[in-house]
Structure 1
Amino acid sequence: MTGKHTWAIPEGYIPEGSTGPEPEMESHETVCLLNATDEDATVEITVYFTDRGPIGPYEKTVPAERTRHFRFNEFEDPEPIPTGEDFASVIESDVPVVCQHTRLDSRQAENALLSTIAHPGE
C-alpha cells in the first residue's frame, strides 16, 4: 500500500506579498495529497505556530485514486491562516496517502518555488 496515515510538514510560511497575475502567481503554501487507494480519504490538517496554540482541524477530501492540491492561504474554516508567520502542520488521513509540500514565493519578479516531501508518521 502506498502512503501513510500521518504526515508532518515542520516548515510553513505564506509570504505577505505577490508579484504577477493572481491566482497563478499569488504567493502560497500548498499541501499536495495523493490517494492511491480505492476509498475516498478524509483528511484533517492541524496548523501549529511558534507563539500561540494550534488551529484546525481543516477537513479535506481526496477522492479514491486521485490527487488534490490544497493551498493553505485558501483555508477558511475554522479560520484563515495568517500570512507572514511561521507555521507547521500535521496531516492525518483515514486511509494511507502520500503528502508533499510546495511553496511559491513571488514577492519579487524573480520567483522562488520550493517543494519537499513531508515527513511520514508511524
Structure 2
Amino acid sequence: MCLLDRVTQWDGTTIVCTASSHRALGNPLRANGRLGAACGVEYAAQAMAVHGSLLAQTDGAPRAGYLASVRSVELQVQRLDGVAADLTITAERITGDANNILYRFTVAADGQTLLSGRAAVVLDATLLRS
C-alpha cells in the first residue's frame, strides 16, 4: 500500500511528501467509512521509508525497516478523511546510527498541524539481541 503521492523535497536529514489518499473512499486504512487521525502515523512511516530508500541510493542497498515505537503523538483533529487539502508529511531524522533511527514527524494541511510525534525505526532487529 502506497499512500504518498510525491516527494517534494529531501536532504540527508529531512523529507517532505504530499498525499491526497486520505480523501479516497478506497483508502485501506479506513474503518467504518472513516479515517482516524492516528492513521497519519502510517503516512509518516511511509515518508520515513522513502527517506531511507533515497539515502540508500548514495549509502548502499536499501534495508527493510521496522517501526519499533511511536511516542509523544499529539492528535490535533479526530479524522483525516474530512480534510479537504492535500496532506504535507514531514519527517526529520533527529538521531541515529547504522541500525536505529529516531525521527520527528508532522502531518499538516494548509499550514495546520493535524498530528505530530516521534518514531523509532530499527533496520535489523536481530542486532538488538544480546
TM-score interval w.r.t. the shorter chain? 0.3 to 0.5
Q: Which is strand-richer, 1 or 2?
A: 1
Q: Which is helix-richer, 1 or 2?
A: 2
**What TM-score comes out, normalization by structure 2 length?**
0.31
**What TM-score comes out, normalization by structure 1 length?**
0.33
Higher relative contact order (CA 8 A, sep 6+): 1
